[in-house]
Structure 1
Amino acid sequence: MSSDPLLQPFQLKHLTLRNRILMTSHEPAYPEDGMPKDRYRAYHVERARGGVAMTMTAGSAAVSKDSPPVFNNLLVYKDEVVPWMKDLTDAVHEQGAAIMIQLTHLGRRTRWDKEFWLPVVSPSHNREPSHRAFPKKMEDWDIERIIKDYADAAERMKAGGMDGIELQAYGHLMDQFWSPLTNTLDGPYGGSLDNRLRFGFDVLGAIRERVGPDFIVGVRYTGDEMLEGGLSREDGLEISRRLKDSGLVDFLNVVRGHIDTDAGLTDVIPIQGMANSPHLDFAGEVRAATDFPTFHAAKIPDVATARHAIASGKLDMVGMTRAHMTDPHIVRKIIEKREEEIRPCVGANYCLDRIYQGGAAYCIHNAATGRELSMPHVIERAETRRKVVIVGAGPAGLEAARVAGERGHDVVVLEAAPNAGGQVRLSAQSPRRKEMISIIDWRLAECERLGVSLRFNTWAEADTVLAETPDIVVIATGGLPHTEVLSQGNELVVSAWDIISGDVKPGANALVYDDAGDHAGLQAAEVLSGAGAKVEVMTPDRTFAPEVMAMNLVPYMRTLQARDVTFTVTFRLEAVERRGNELVARIGSDYGGVAREKSFDQIVVNHGTIPLDELYFELKPGSVNNGEISHDELVAGSPQTVVRNPDGAYRLFRIGDAVAARNTHAAIYDALRLLKDV
């Protein structure tokens, strides 16, 4: 038996959990037709195979037709979900893990113009800022049918073989009843705390009556809304005691905060640059006050913090959910004394933000997550050892090196700079994004473990590459800032990179012209405003920084608004000219009819990158494939078989921003899907 607190079993009612780590309820948006089909099942099975004690599916599976998902969630109001759940449950159980599901009615936290076009319902007419729907104030018959919907859904989950269910009670309908900020009903479901809690306990009672006393039922709820007039810490502790004393629930899964705004959601589920485990001590207070099985998750990304949470008695089960999206084999690596090989969660929150913007969750630096049917988490060794030469040690090049190293190849990386990282290293220079460097550091450590040869301060010419007699050449040279975007005055502007890196001193009155909408523009604005500059961020788009996405935008806005940074949308910088000590910006609009001028002392352009591709084109004629990549084979996750030049000496791939300006995830995905079969 291990003495590691994380590896001790935990008895939850009749269920023995094999260790103290779980994935809390979350929805990666992988369902098909609202069902947990092959892709969904493969995602959870991989985490079960990796050793997690329990995986909780479906952040917010919909129990009612008037709770339409705002992204792709499971629809547990349908009877057809039962056999799919049975397949999922059986597959997870085969790997030794338990599995539960979270059920909910979203209440006002959705929209009326989805699926069936039914009115959004809530115990008040108060609109939720995030989803913007004005709800219908619930009637008695709404309450009755939704209580029945919860019980029906729970019965389906039991029929599907689930080990238990969890009810979502923060920001969703149940908590909308609990909170005085969102419940304006008269009795019996409004007014006093007793009345406001009645809906939740009626739901729990109906579920217990349907599923019996042995089926595991828990609640994930806020113990403190941290909003004036909302549920207080004292209310939360009282609710915790009442949940325990009711005899209707078997565990508490406590969070802290509110999720009705982007800022509130980000405080509940913090991202990089924010404190780790900010609500752990509060969860420990709930555990101490109730002496009842208590779960919790909120930016607990590392094993040391998780171990402390269990060893100190603050929690019975610790949630490492985003961490398991990054590395599904955390527990296995703990057991095998390989903690240093755990791929670190960097808190980039690409996973959660992308659900809303891109329709599915992906980890910023594990491209196999969500693609388990075609991409491996564990790379198998190749039958034949090859010589692989990679040019560039940014995220694309290092991932290519890592994967080729895992395949057992002889790998050489040539990097012109004195250190690795590329654009990730630049991004990590901002204190709030310093965690990004772990993307690079982890790969460097893995490359060292795998025997990859890294040669820095090496400018690779074609002869340099060919001298290595490669079988495979990977060009991962990235790009350089593209600032040649004006009709006049391109020589007068600087790039966002210049400002972030410190190569150019901030001015006093700066324009950041952001025509890329990614992190670099806002990072430059942070540096400039932090140096005391008056800053205007201008974009031709309808919204600023559309590539940054909601939760990542929150810390930027807290900083930039406090510094009185101005944001101007729908205007295009057309030209710049110098007049004395001033730079005069000529400004137009894609909508037409605008021609104005404005003066600054510094103009910063963020317009993506131009590929550094000269070496690729030099090497192209000597390659077997002439640099061609079969898109059909790439999409299918199959080996590349293109032959354009049978006399070629090597196969040539170009990846990441050396192809076109994209993002870190795209670069890493390029590398994984091309190198995994080499």
Structure 2
Amino acid sequence: MANDPLLQPFQLKHLTLKNRLMITSHEPAYTEDGLPKDRYRAYHLARAKGGVALTMTAGSAVVSPDSPPAFGNILAYRDDCVPWMRRLADDCHAEGCAVMIQLTHLGRRTRWDRGDWLPALSPSHAREPAHRHYPKQLEDWDIARIITDYADAAERMQSAGLDGIELESYGHLMDAFWSPDLNTLQGPHGPQSYDSRLQFTFDVLEAIRARVGPEFIVGIRYAADEVRPGGITATDGIEITKRLKASGQIDFLNIIRGHIHTDAALTTVIPVQDQPSAPHLDFAGEIRAQAQIPTFHAAKIQDVATARHAVATGKLDMVGMTRAHLADPDIVAKIEAGEEDRIRPCVGANYCLDRIYMGGAALCIHNPATGRELEQPHHIDPAQTPLKITIVGAGPAGLEAARVCTTRGHAVTLHEAAPHPGGQIRLTARSPRRAEMMQVIDWRMAECERLGVTFHFNSYVEPEDITTAPPDVALIATGGLAAEDYLPENNDLAVTPWDILSGDAAPGRRVLVYDEAGDYAALQAAEHLAEAGAEVEIVTRDRAFAPEVMGMTLTPAMQALQRLGVATTVMWRLDALARSGNALTATLGSDYGGAATREVDQVVISNGTRPLDDLYFALKPLSRNLGEVDYTALREGRPQTLAPNPSGPFRLFRLGDAVASRNTHAAIYDALRLCKAL
């Protein structure tokens, strides 16, 4: 461990960072009234305790009221954020972790109808597609005021005891001044030269330095190449980097490559499943080599081996593993303990960021304690009384239940009817673009095997298998089956996405995929069909396409579907299906009154799942709790003590899709919060 490049300290000005792993600035949207209160602090503190050297708060704490929060941003223009930031910094410092914050004016990357309903600002009226807002073009008094706002915010962060700040300059206001096609100002801040394009940046830096002094750490995260026509080029990026260094005002660079004006563009900056790992690492290394300034970077660096390579080869000084730390806050601790193989992997599902951009808070698809540190444990406490627990089903819910229960010290036996674990995830992972999802299962299997869970595969459980030698607790995690009951009649003329993905149904030539669920199943089936040569149309009654998939994760799927010529039709529903000779006639209706038909030879209906719950209902009248869950106790993290049938020999609960059709995160969260108190 002493020779591990990742565990070597790094000297950043006066600040000694204890290792080379950091969490880059990001906004998990845990703020309350724009302030980083206890939930926000607990999230960063968990990662500080896990050993990370530097945690950067705020994916863009806003410096001005006319930069209204777009996704739960910290309001750095308010004095009352200081005591909350001070508490966060003090707690992380006590764990040996440095703390910084990213400051910005969002510019056009927000909307006018949020916050105080002030117009968003930009050096031009150009609309940002992601937020669909036409900004006001900056006036001279706007520029002067915002420069002061930056300085005020920096001073607040210094007074809160933070180790430094980072200015955000990609997709926001500052870099819009740099961009040849977004800056149409006249005068000293216009686009006519590098001097004028960078004038605002250097005015901000000078104002900040006048407040915080030369020793306070100030860095910048910026797009050194926007990779778009009319935008900031790599040549521009090199010149801007040289000028930033020559100014003497910048202590570190945090390199971005790409632009974020659309969902598709954003996924090139922050890649998701089915996209390359560490795609911009070499580019960041080139900037570091030319600039000779401490250089940070993050972009789908999911694994320790890649991070180690980045430092060992001199590409980076500090490696950002931000989404990886959402999945596992203890990455450094596990490296130090020689347990890299136990790191819970980031699977690239991007549930975290997609939720933020849809107005929710960041959650990891397979670590339900992330963002819930005040209620849910990253580290499971042992139980006072060991129990005998039987689990049925080795999907994500069943395996998480087995992991948590065994960690608690209970004796766990798990039965799975299939020859392999995985449940619906195994089917999902048959699509190459979603193969990473199997890591959700693989990691839990490895943990369960290490902990001593007893597995029985090819084991179909009958009620008497439970009642003959009853356990203390029976957990039913049998999942669900694809629903086949959408239409009032003739459902037998349709197939499900599961039939297509499993190969149980051969692809047709002209196929209508009707998506009632709005999740990934219809997309995967449509892609599989189109790759087999089918002419495919996806129809949905929703006014937004695939709303449960969300923007960034939808990007690679849409790229594939459009490449394959799949048609997408929104705001129509499938009302009826009938045979017409060798073809099928699909009758479409609309919530808005329309009517249409399609002549096809195959119809696929995606309508979620129905619980596979026969075993649960057979056992329910025999159980002590009659299957009842005390939701108040569940929410408060207390044990389940209901016993309406006190003579029942076991307690009975069901988890995940055995309850209702939901998603992977919900299934795993079910298991954690129930089993942590058993």
Q: What SS is found at the alignment partner of 1:436?
A: helix
**Aligned match of 1:278:** 279
SS in 2 for 1:506: coil
Partners of 2:68 and 2:625 in 1: how far apart? 48
CA distance in 1, matches of 2:275, 2:640: 42
In the alignment, which residue of structure 2 is the partner of 1:426?
Answer: 427
Give 2:337's aligned residue: 336
How far apart are the structure 2 equivalents of 1:486 and 1:236?
57
CA distance in 2, matches of 1:230, 1:596: 44
Q: Distance in 2 between matches of 1:597 and 1:81?
A: 58
Look up the equivalent residue of 1:528 and give its one-letter code: L
Residue type at the aligned position of 1:140 = D
Structure 1 stretches of 4+ moved >6 Å = none
Give the Å deviation of 1:387.
0.7
Pairwise CA distance, 1:350: 0.1
The reply to whether residue 550 of structure 1 matches residue 551 of structure 2 is yes
List gaps (5 residues or longer) in structure 2.
none
**Equivalent position SS for 1:485:** coil
1:208 aligns with 2:240: no
Q: How does 1:40-439 map to 2 (within 5 A)?
A: 40-191=40-191, 192-439=193-440
| Letter in structure 1 aligned against 2:223 | T
Deviations 1:474-518 (A, max 9, x none): 000011011211122200100011112222111110000000000
Deviations 1:356-413 (A, max 9, x none): 2251000000000000001000111112211110000000000000101111111011
- 2:71–2:359 Cα contact (<8 Å) kept: no
The question of whether the paired residues in 2 share the 8 Å contact of 1:22 and 1:317 is answered with: yes
Mapped partners of 1:358, 1:636: distance in 2: 25
Q: Which residue is 1:636 aligned to?
A: 636
Distance 1:402 1:440 in 2: 11
Query: What's the offset of the Cα at 1:237?
Result: 1.4
Q: Is residue 464 of structure 1 aligned with residue 456 of structure 2?
A: no
- Contact 1:61 1:74 survives alignment (8 Å): yes
Q: Which residue of 2 aligns with 1:652?
A: 652
| Distance (whole Å) between structure 2 residues aligned to residue 461 and residue 193 of structure 1 | 75
Mapped to 2, the partners of 1:235 and 1:468 lie a distance apart of 73
SS at match of 2:198: helix
| 8 A contact 1:389–1:468 mirrored in 2 | no
Whole-angstrom CA distance in 2 between matches of 1:243 and 1:465: 69
Q: Is the 8 A contact 1:121 1:136 kept in 2?
A: yes
Deviations 1:6-61 (A, max 9, x none): 00000000000000000000010001111111111100000000000010000000
How far, CA to CA, are the matches of 1:220 and 1:159 in structure 2? Answer: 22
> 2-side partners of 1:305 and 1:640: how far apart?
44
Mapped to 1, the partners of 2:534 and 2:512 lie a distance apart of 10
Post-superposition CA distance 1:333-371 (Å, at most 9, x none): 000001111000000000000112251000000000000
CA distance in 1, matches of 2:395, 2:65: 47
C-alpha separation between the residues in 1 aligned to 2:665 and 2:206? 45
Does residue 1:513 correspond to 2:517, yes or no? no
Query: Secondary structure at the residue paired with 2:314?
Result: coil
SS at match of 1:494: coil
Per mean C-alpha deviation after superposition, the further-off stretch among 494-503 and 168-177 is 494-503
- The 5 A counterparts of 1:551-566 are 551-566=552-567
Contact residue 488 and residue 577 of structure 1 kept, 8 A: no
CA contact (8 A) 1:389 1:472 kept: yes
Over aligned residues, Cα RMSD in angstroms? 0.9
Separation in 2 of the partners of 1:265 and 1:194?
A: 28
Rate the CA distance shift 1:342–1:468 in 2: closer, same or farther, 3 A: farther
Identity %: 65
SS at match of 2:253: strand
Alignment of 1:554-593 (within 5 A): 554-592=555-593
**Contact 2:575/2:589 (<8 A) preserved:** yes
Range with bigger deviation, 256-265 or 181-190 = 181-190
Give the letter for the 2:237 counterpart.
G
2:91 counterpart letter in structure 1: A
State the SS of the aligned residue for 1:223. Answer: strand
Structure 2 residue 602 is matched with structure 1 residue 606: no
1:338 alignment partner AA = E
Unaligned ranges ≥5, structure 1: none
Distance 2:140 2:469 in 1: 77
Q: Distance in 1 between matches of 2:403 and 2:503?
A: 31
Greater shift in the superposed pair: 533-542 or 186-195 = 186-195
CA drift of 1:596 comes to: 2.6
Deviation at 1:238, TM superposition (A): 1.5
1:532 Cα offset (Å):
1.1
For residues 236 and 419 of structure 1, the distance between their equivalents in structure 2, rounded to whole angstroms, comes to 50
Give, in whole Å, the separation in 1 of the partners of 2:544 and 2:153: 40
After TM superposition, give the deviation of residue 637 of structure 1 in Å: 2.2
Question: Secondary structure in 1 aligned to 2:576?
Answer: strand
Q: How do residues 6-25 of structure 1 correspond to structure 2 at under 5 angstroms?
A: 6-25=6-25
Which residue in 2 is equivalent to 1:670? Answer: 670
- 1:239 is displaced (CA, Å) by 1.2
When residues 459 and 220 of structure 1 are mapped into structure 2, their CA distance, relative to the original with a 3 A threshold, is: same
2:249 and 2:466 map into 1 onto residues whose CA distance is 68
Q: CA deviation at 1:466?
A: 2.6
Partner-residue secondary structure (3-state), 1:418: coil
For 1:665 and 1:581, the matched residues in 2 are separated by 42
Counterpart of 2:40, as a letter, is Y
1:61–1:102: 8 Å Cα contact kept in structure 2? yes
Aligned match of 1:479? 480
* Distance (Å, rounded) in 2 between the aligned partners of 1:154 and 1:77: 10
SS at match of 1:83: helix
Deviates further, 502-511 or 314-323:
502-511
